[in-house]
């Protein structure tokens, strides 16, 4: 469309727009919700001083510091004494310290605890603060005399750190302004294969007991724990991370016992684990060039590759990445009648210094003393669990579409997968699927309202295909982070199951700067590159602020199970290591990329054919793989 | 059999561990460990209290007590942990281990924090504390505005000229709320934002735009105002100045902050009292200027 025609189209389509207020962003304190949802950016994976590994790395910043940093306050970083602060504050945050040492200190104040009969126990249990001071003096004098109080060595005297985690989360939960979620990390890692999951709760009370790898390293047991807690009124879900270093374990087609997964297993997976982390400081888990050889943007933040604590073993790729899981998932839907990997998309930090450090040009390291200054990050030669700081990326960010910023609304939105993840920038992504979106929607002031009315948002299932419909259409809209690079393109990634195998294809559906896909090659020309590596700078003279499209699947087969998700790419910008090199006045490191293609990934939309249309196979060769 | 296979067991980590463990144990026995363990060191007594604790932990997690088989498993695991723990202590593995040192230090910190719950402040304490820090509780200035986006990616060189023309059209409208929707280009964010603070506007549109909008006079169209997205025309409906809060409205927050500060003081006091018991000698002492700088920084 020429610019003149475009302008004409605009003037025609805008006339009937309702008053902007009706789009529903209500005034402060009105208590009203936005039925079309607002985006809330936040953090769902963070460690503080209360994670023993973080503590051992020298981190002293607390959960309180973590929440204050997310809110945008300047906080003193314990390892360097410098003040650190986000350029753009977050709307919500969850601290997920490792469960392994949070739960082992039961409350002194528990009924019938024999320690209540001890001198200090009585003083504390009285609840009288003055007596607390007496107990405090007693400890001081004991320490001074070099004489242990025998019962002090008992861990039972200490109140549970978990109770404190909950209290701090609740202290910072401010409905309407800032949300926190009560959460912990289950750190299961059988034979160095990462199976970590974070567990999140909807209620303010949270469970009494948390679940650690000491209880079990099997995810089926984690699900049982989740189901028990749910029945007790602690609604919850878990989110796994770092499939990329799981050595084929994370999305394996087998249970923990090595038997093929069945329908019941898939349904339990679905019920307990609605989303997965696609990127964080230990690399991205979207896909790998070996799995997606035709994806020209697959080679991205793959420098981190060793299995945690393995002493340098590079993990296997198969069944370790989200895209393969999503595509295999629709194959399972066809084969066993349930999809074990019906996953929404989020992103996270996994920082071990309490700071959700997603801004590429404002990165101050993530692992305590081991990467706290530009000099240490680029030149120390040190490692964290065998990986050099240069191979870590900046944390990712999660966008949640929710009617309001409350604990319940954020939790529910993640549970129904109306979420997206980014490699850090706060790119906004809308994605809807239906059976008849009008291409003129992209010029419509009521895009969002009509898109909701005509289909389902990201994370949903396409409605039943109307008889007359030939193929589904998708409405997608992306807006750049005003403090980051322009957008290059929007892509829709389609996966489907055919002849017992999984397939994927990538479509460029919106391109900046008026580019078109070359029908001969099927590719678009590159957006260009304005990065000046020496100055660690770029200009937004290429790319667009926002991109939108209505796209109809040209290869649709109504008998094939399919999954669709969006990837939005920014123009090239400097990687954090390039900013550090400039700060130090040295050349960027030769063995990591100098630029980064920041990006966002939406949660998928699924298509499940009417059973009448599907001819089930005897054998699904693409799914019958066992752990080697 | 090739030689590399014959000695494959030498590369097994378990073999390394056992050899290393035996060596450490042997050294310990040679230089200073007790010649023979006292008999009670060879007894692991799992008390009824400990079993009750194991069962209680289980019940909290699974919402039921362990079956007899599960109970046996819990006890067996507890015994195993105790055996390894005793042996590790006997080998001196707790000495000079950074993680053990830090863990113990952390435990004492947790413990002292538990004890140091300051009493809830009364009104007479809290009010002057609040007054001295009123700035912290100031409600920010709030702006209610409508904006119209003019997209440079669509309009290219014509963008600023078009923006001027659109502003003239906007000014001719009878009211900013009626008809402004029909002008400008599609944009993902809302057109109308009620009662937003500068930081909130900055989150949505970027720092520069926010700074400019909070300074605009109400009742007329302004612009072009630039953002990280492009060009905007902005109408400010209403501006509410920053104001000092009523004490009653923020009392809960003030009490919380007071509590945080008091806890911090008590923690510092606790450490100071412990620290006073030690004479500290540091080889290669840092200069007094460096220490002064560190202290100034931490204040």
Q: In terms of CA atoms, which chain A residue is nearest residue B97?
A: A56
DSSP of A316-372: P-TT-SHHHHHHHHHHHHHHHSS-TT--EEE----BSSS-----GGG---SSGGGG-
pLDDT digits (tens, 9 = 90+) for A188-224: 988 888 999 999 999 999 998 889 888 889 999 999 9
Mean pLDDT, range A228-237, rounded to an integer: 96
Cα-Cα-Cα-Cα dihedral sign, residues A372, A377, A379, A383: positive
How far is the C-alpha of A52 from the C-alpha of A33, rounded, in Å?
A: 40
Higher pLDDT, B93 or A412: A412
Q: Which residue has the higher pLDDT, A195 or A55?
A: A195
Cβ distance A585 to A625 under 8 Å? no
Judge if B130 and B277 occupy the same domain: yes
The shortest C-alpha distance from A40 to chain B (Å) reads 11
pLDDT of residue B219: 93
- Rg of chain A taking only CA atoms, in angstroms: 25
- Listed as own residue / partner, the contacts of A148-155 with beta carbons closer than 8 Å and 24 or more positions apart are A149/A120, A151/A115, A151/A118, A151/A120, A151/A121, A152/A120, A152/B111, A154/A115, A155/A104, A155/A105, A155/B107
Q: Which class for B174: exposed (0-12), middle (13-18), buried (19 or more C-beta within 10 A)?
A: exposed
The CA-CA-CA angle for residues A441, A445, A448, to 5°, reads 65
Residues A315-319 have a mean pLDDT of 92
Distance CA A33, CA A30 (A): 9
Q: Is the pLDDT of residue A25 over 70?
A: no
Q: Are A545 and A428 in contact (CB under 8 A)?
A: no
SS3 (DSSP) at A527: coil
- Going by C-alpha positions, the residue among A474, A463, A469, A466 that lies closest to residue A439 is A474
Output A6 or B267, whichever has higher pLDDT.
B267
Asked if this assembly's ipTM is beyond 0.90, the reply is no
Nearest CA in chain B to A90: B203
pLDDT of residue A50: 85
Instruction: Say if residue B20 is in the same domain as residue B86.
Output: yes
Statement: residue A505 has pLDDT above 70: yes
SS3 assignment, position B237: strand
Chain A nearest-CA residue for B108: A158
Nearest CB to B115 within list A135, A480, A483 = A135
How many residues does this entry show for chain B?
A: 299
- DSSP conformation letters of B165-212: HHHHHHHHSSBTTBSGGGSS---SS-SEEEEE-HHHHHHHH-HHHHHH
Contacts of A571 in chain B (CB under 8 A): none
B152 falls within a domain = yes
Asked if the peptide bond before residue B224 counts as cis, ω within 30 degrees of 0, the response is: yes
Give the tens place of pLDDT for each residue, A553-565. 999 999 999 999 9
Q: How far is CA A552 from CA A46, A476, A509, A558, A607, in A?
A: 39, 11, 10, 13, 14
pLDDT of residue A139: 53
B143 neighbors B201 (Cβ within 8 angstroms):
yes
B298–A55: do the CB atoms touch at under 8 Å? no
Beta-strand relationship, B231-240 and B221-226: antiparallel
pLDDT digits (tens, 9 = 90+) for A31-50: 688 889 999 999 999 999 88
Q: What is the pLDDT of residues A59-85, one digit of tens each?
A: 889 999 999 999 999 999 999 999 999
A132 and B CB contact within 8 Å: yes
Asked whether residue B117 is domain-assigned, the answer is no
Rounded to whole angstroms, the Cα distance separating A566 from A599 reads 10
Residue A611 has a CB neighbour count (10 Å cut-off) of 8
Q: What's the rounded Cα separation, in Å, for the pair A258 and A253?
A: 9
Tokens of A546: 């926002």
A482/B228 Cβ within 8 A: yes
Are residues B205 and B225 both part of a single domain? yes
Can you tell me whether residue A536 is helix, strand or coil? coil
List the single residue in A with minimal CA-CA distance to B121.
A129
CA nearest to A365, candidates A59, A88, A3, A96: A59
Which residues 129-188 of B have a C-beta within 8 angstroms of A?
A: 142, 144, 146, 151-156, 177-178, 180-183, 185-188
Residues from chain B contacting residue A52 (CB–CB below 8 Å): 99, 103
Name residues 68-107 of chain B within 8 A of A (Cβ): 98-99, 102-103, 106-107
**Domains in chain B: how many in total?**
3
SS3 state of residue A266 = helix
Give the separation between CA B275 and CA B285, rounded to whole angstroms: 17
Strands (E), A63-201: 75-76, 83-84, 92-93, 179-180, 182-186, 197-201
Q: What pLDDT, on the 0 to 100 scale, is given for residue B178?
A: 81
Provide Rg for chain B, Cα atoms. Answer: 35
**Do A425 and A485 contact (CB within 8 A), yes or no?**
yes
Alpha carbons within 13 angstroms on the beta-carbon side of residue A388 total 16
A17 vs B182: CB contact, 8 Å cut-off? yes
CB proximity A119 to B under 8 Å: no
Shared domain check, B219 and B151: yes
Q: What does the pLDDT look like over B17-61, one tens digit per residue?
A: 444 444 444 444 444 444 444 456 688 988 888 888 888 878 877
State residue B20's pLDDT score.
Answer: 42
Mapped onto helix, strand or coil, the DSSP state of residue A90 is coil
Work out the average pLDDT over A384-391.
85
Q: Are A45 and A357 in contact (CB under 8 A)?
A: no
Cβ-defined contact of B115 to A21 (cutoff 8 Å):
no
Measured CA to CA, the distance from residue B103 to residue B223 in angstroms comes to 59
Question: Is the pLDDT assigned to residue A155 strictly greater than 50?
Answer: no
Sign of CA dihedral A291, A293, A295, A297: positive
**The pLDDT value given to residue A526:** 96
Question: How far does the CA of residue A610 sit from the closest CA of chain B (Å)?
Answer: 35
How far does B240 lie from chain A, in Å, by closest CA?
13
Chain A nearest C-alpha distance from B108 (Å): 9
Q: Please tell me the least confidently modeled range out of A16-30, B57-71, B155-169, B197-211.
A: A16-30
Of A155-169, A248-262, A372-386, the least confident: A155-169
Alpha carbons B51 and B45: distance in angstroms, whole number: 11
Alpha-carbon distance of A33 to A400, in angstroms, equals: 15
Using pLDDT thresholds of 50, 70 and 90, give the confidence band for residue A348: very high
Average pLDDT over residues A435-442: 94
Mean confidence (pLDDT) of chain A: 87
Best mutation site among A35, A546, A549, A573 for testing chain B: the one with the most B CBs within 10 Å? A546
CA distances from B92 to A56, A147, A524, A566, B89 (A): 20, 21, 65, 56, 5
Tell me: do B235 and B284 sit in the same domain: no
Instruction: Please give the angle made by the CA atoms of A18, A19 and A22, to the nearest 5 degrees.
Output: 90
Share of chain A above pLDDT 90, in %: 71
Query: A16-20, A36-40, A374-378, A553-557: which range is least confident on average?
Result: A16-20
Q: Do B150 and B233 belong to one domain? A: yes
Checking if the pLDDT of B115 tops 70, the result is no
Let me know how many helices (H) and strands (E) chain A has, helices first: 13, 25
Backbone phi, psi, residue B71, to 5°: -65, -45
Q: Does B271 fall in a domain? A: yes
B279 & B221 share domain: no
pLDDT of residue A493: 98
Tokens at B4, concatenated: 């590399």
Query: Residues B58-114: pLDDT tens digits?
Result: 887 788 899 999 999 999 998 998 899 899 888 888 888 877 887 778 777 776 776
Tokens coding B194: 């009620």
**CB-based contact, B199 to chain A, within 8 Å:** yes
Pick the range with the lowest mean pLDDT from A347-351, A353-357, A600-604, A620-624: A620-624
CA A46 to chain centre: 11
B207 and B276: one domain?
Answer: no
Distance from C-alpha of A552 to C-alpha of A151, rounded to nearest angstrom:
70
- Considering only alpha carbons, which residue of chain A is nearest residue B81? A214
Range with lowest mean pLDDT among A237-251, A587-601, B177-191: B177-191
Structure token pair of residue A112:
């019938």
Work out the average pLDDT over A453-466. 96
Pairwise CA distance, residues A241 & A346, whole Å: 10
- What pLDDT band is residue B207 in, cutting at 50, 70 and 90? very high
The mean of the pLDDT values for chain B is: 81
**Tokens in use for B152?**
């440079």
Please tell me whether residues B236 and B251 are part of one structural domain: no
Q: Say if residues A422 and A599 touch (Cβ distance below 8 Å).
A: yes
Which CATH number do you get for residue B209? Answer: 3.10.50.40
Cα nearest neighbour of B118 on chain A: A129
Which helix (H) or strand (E) is B131 found in, with range?
helix B123-132
Range scoring the smallest mean pLDDT among A74-83, A524-533, B241-250: B241-250
Question: Is the model more confident about A53 or about A449?
Answer: A449
B253 in the same domain as B192: no
Q: What is the mean predicted confidence (pLDDT) over B204-231?
A: 94
Query: Which of the listed residues B220, B240, B260 is the one where a domain comes to its end?
Result: B240
Stated pTM of the model: 0.84
pLDDT mean over A248-267: 93
The span from the CA of A543 to the CA of B37, in Å, is 75
Distance from CA of A100 to the nearest CA of B (A): 13
Note whether B110 contacts A: Cβ–Cβ < 8 A: yes
- Is B102 inside a domain boundary? no
Query: Which one is predicted more confidently, A217 or B16?
Result: A217
pLDDT at A298 (0 to 100): 96
Q: pLDDT at position A164, please?
A: 84
> What does the pLDDT average to over B116-145?
87
Q: Is B103 a member of any domain?
A: no
Looking at CA atoms only, how far is residue A298 from chain B in angstroms? 28
C-alpha angle B289/A380/A316, rounded to 5°? Answer: 145
Comparing B259 with A130, which gets the higher pLDDT? B259
- pLDDT for B57: 79
pLDDT at A182 over 70: yes
The per-residue DSSP string of A172-225 comes to H-BTTTBEE-EEEEE---GGG----EEEEESSSS--SS---TTT-S-HHHHHHH
The answer to whether the Cβ–Cβ distance between B102 and A56 falls below 8 Å is: yes
Name the range with the highest mean pLDDT among A448-462, B33-47, B261-275. Answer: A448-462
Compute the distance between CA of residue B196 and CA of residue B202 in angstroms, rounded to an integer. Answer: 10
pLDDT of residue A161: 80
Minimal Cα–Cα distance from B11 to chain A, Å? 14
Handedness of CA A305, A309, A315, A319 (dihedral sign): negative
pLDDT band at A114 (very low <50, low <70, confident <90, very high): low
Sequence length of chain A is 628
Residue B269 lies in a domain: yes
* Minimal CA separation from A515 to chain B, in Å: 12
Hey, are the CB atoms on B277 and A144 less than 8 Å from each other?
yes
Judged by average pLDDT, the poorest of A425-434, A501-510, B269-278 is B269-278
Q: Are residues B46 and B60 in the same domain?
A: yes
Q: What is the DSSP code string of A454-511?
A: TEEETT-BPPPPPTT--S-EEEEEEE--TTSPPEEEEEEEEEEEETTEEEEEEEEEEE
In a domain, B276, yes or no: yes
Q: How far apart are CA A223 and CA A350, in angstroms?
A: 22
Query: Over 60: is that where the pLDDT of B268 sits?
Result: yes
Q: How far is CA A445 from CA A34, A298, A556, A572, B230, in A?
A: 17, 34, 29, 30, 18
How many inter-chain contacts (A to B, CB under 8 Å) are there?
165
- Which token pair is A338? 């349930």
**Residues of chain A above pLDDT 70, percent:** 85
- Give the separation between CA A92 and CA A181, rounded to whole angstroms: 8
Show which of residues 39-68 on chain B sit within 8 Å of chain A, judged by CB atoms.
49, 53, 56-57, 60-63
Residue numbers of A between 403 and 462 with CB closer than 8 Å to B: 428, 430, 442-445, 447
pLDDT computed for residue A118 by the predictor: 61
User: What's the token pair of residue A32?
Assistant: 């009203």
A288's CB contacts (< 8 A; 6+ apart) are: A244, A298, A302, A317, A320, A321
Helix axes A161-172, A63-71, angle to 10 degrees: 20
Q: Return the pLDDT at A29.
A: 62
Residue from the list B60, B115, B274 with its beta carbon closest to the beta carbon of A143:
B274
pLDDT at residue A444, as a whole number: 87
| Domain boundary residue, one of B207, B223, B240 | B240
CB-CB contact of B98 with A56 (8 Å): yes
**Among B201, B220, B240, residue at a domain's last position:** B240
Instruction: Output DSSP code: residue A542.
Output: S
Structural domain contains residue B4: no
pLDDT band at A120 (very low <50, low <70, confident <90, very high): low
Whether A241 shows a pLDDT value over 80: the answer reads yes
Instruction: Say if residue B264 is in the same domain as residue B235.
Output: no
State the residue range of the domain holding B204: 139-240
């Amino acid at each position: 469309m020429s610019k003149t025609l475009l302008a004409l189209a605009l003037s025609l389509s805008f006339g009937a727009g309702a008053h902007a207020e009706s789009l529903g962003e209500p005034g402060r304190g009105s208590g009203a919700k936005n039925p079309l949802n607002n985006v809330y950016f936040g953090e769902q994976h963070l460690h503080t001083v209360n994670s023993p590994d973080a503590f051992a790395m020298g981190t002293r910043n607390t959960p309180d510091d973590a929440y204050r940093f997310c809110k945008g306050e300047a906080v003193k970083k314990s390892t360097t004494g410098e003040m650190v602060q986000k350029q753009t504050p977050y709307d919500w945050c969850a601290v997920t310290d490792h469960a392994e040492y949070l739960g082992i200190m039961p409350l002194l104040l528990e009924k019938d605890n024999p320690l209540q009969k001890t001198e200090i126990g009585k003083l504390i249990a009285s609840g009288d603060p003055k007596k607390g001071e007496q107990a405090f003096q007693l400890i001081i004098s004991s320490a001074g005399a070099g004489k242990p109080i025998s019962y002090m060595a008992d861990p039972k005297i200490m109140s549970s750190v978990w109770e404190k985690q909950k209290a701090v989360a609740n202290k910072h939960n401010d409905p309407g302004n800032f949300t926190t979620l009560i959460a912990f990390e289950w750190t299961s890692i059988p034979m160095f294969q990462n199976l970590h999951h974070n567990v999140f709760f909807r209620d303010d009370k949270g469970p009494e007991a948390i679940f650690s790898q000491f209880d079990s390293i099997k995810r089926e047991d984690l699900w049982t724990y989740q189901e028990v807690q749910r029945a007790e009124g602690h609604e919850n879900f878990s989110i796994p991370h770092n499939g990329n270093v799981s050595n084929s374990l994370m999305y394996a087609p087998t249970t923990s016992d090595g038997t093929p997964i069945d329908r019941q297993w898939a349904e339990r997976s679905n019920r307990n684990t609605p989303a997965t982390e696609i990127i964080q400081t230990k690399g991205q888990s979207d896909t790998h060039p070996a799995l997606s050889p035709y994806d020209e943007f697959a080679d991205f933040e793959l420098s981190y590759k060793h299995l945690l604590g393995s002493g340098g073993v590079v993990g296997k790729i198969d069944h370790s990445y989200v895209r393969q899981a999503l595509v295999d998932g629709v194959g399972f839907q066809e084969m066993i009648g349930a999809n074990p990997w019906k996953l929404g998309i989020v992103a996270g930090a996994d920082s071990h210094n309490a700071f959700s450090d997603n801004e590429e040009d404002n990165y101050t390291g993530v692992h305590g003393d081991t990467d706290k200054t530009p000099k240490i990050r680029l030149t120390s030669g040190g490692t964290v669990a065998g990986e050099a700081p240069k191979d870590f990326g900046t944390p990712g960010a999660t966008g949640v579409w929710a009617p309001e910023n409350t604990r319940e609304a954020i939790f529910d939105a993640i549970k129904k997968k109306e979420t997206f993840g980014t490699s850090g920038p706060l790119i906004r992504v809308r994605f809807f699927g239906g059976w008849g979106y009008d291409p003129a929607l992209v010029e419509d002031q009521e895009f969002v309202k009509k898109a909701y009315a005509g289909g389902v948002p990201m994370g949903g299932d396409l409605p039943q295909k109307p008889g007359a419909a030939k193929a589904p259409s998708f409405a997608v809209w992306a807006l750049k982070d005003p403090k980051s690079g322009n957008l290059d393109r929007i892509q829709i990634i389609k996966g489907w199951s055919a002849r017992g195998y999984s397939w994927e294809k990538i479509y460029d559906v919106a391109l900046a700067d008026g580019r078109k896909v070359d029908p001969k090659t099927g590719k678009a020309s590159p957006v260009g590159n304005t990065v000046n590596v020496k100055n660690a700078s770029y200009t937004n003279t290429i790319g667009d602020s926002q991109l939108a499209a209505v796209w109809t699947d040209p290869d649709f087969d109504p008998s094939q199970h399919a999954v669709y998700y969006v990837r939005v790419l920014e123009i090239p910008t400097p990687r954090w290591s390039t900013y550090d090199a400039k700060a130090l006045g040295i050349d960027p490191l030769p063995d990591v990329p100098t630029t980064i293609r920041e990006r966002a990934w939406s949660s998928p939309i699924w298509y499940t054919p009417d059973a009448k249309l599907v001819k089930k196979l005897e054998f699904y060769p693409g799914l019958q793989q066992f752990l080697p | 059999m090739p030689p590399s296979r014959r000695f494959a067991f030498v590369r097994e980590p378990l073999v390394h561990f056992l050899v290393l463990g035996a060596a450490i144990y042997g050294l310990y026995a040679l230089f200073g460990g007790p010649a023979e363990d006292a008999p009670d060191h060879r007894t692991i007594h799992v008390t009824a209290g400990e079993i009750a604790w194991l069962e209680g932990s289980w019940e909290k997690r699974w919402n039921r007590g362990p079956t007899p088989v599960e109970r046996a498993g819990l006890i067996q695991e507890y015994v195993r942990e105790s055996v390894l723990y005793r042996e590790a202590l006997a080998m001196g593995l707790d000495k000079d281990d950074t993680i053990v040192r830090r863990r113990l230090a952390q435990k004492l910190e947790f413990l002292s924090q538990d004890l140091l719950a300051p009493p809830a402040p009364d009104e007479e304490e809290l009010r002057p504390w609040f007054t001295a820090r009123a700035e912290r509780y100031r409600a920010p200035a709030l702006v209610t505005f409508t904006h119209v986006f003019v997209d440079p990616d669509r309009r290219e060189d014509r963008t600023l000229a078009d923006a001027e023309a659109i502003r003239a059209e906007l000014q001719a409208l009878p009211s900013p709320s009626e008809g402004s929707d029909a002008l400008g280009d599609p944009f993902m964010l809302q057109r109308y934002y009620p009662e937003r603070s500068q930081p909130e506007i900055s989150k949505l549109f970027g720092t520069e735009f926010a700074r400019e909008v909070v300074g605009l006079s109400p009742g007329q169209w302004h612009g072009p105002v630039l953002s990280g997205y492009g060009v905007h025309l902005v109408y400010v409906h209403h501006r509410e100045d920053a104001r000092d809060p009523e004490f009653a409205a923020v009392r809960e927050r003030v009490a919380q902050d007071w509590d945080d500060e008091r806890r911090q003081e008590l923690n510092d006091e606790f450490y100071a009292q412990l620290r006073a018991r030690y004479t500290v000698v540091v080889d290669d002492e840092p200069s007094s200027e460096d220490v002064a700088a560190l202290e100034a920084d931490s204040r």
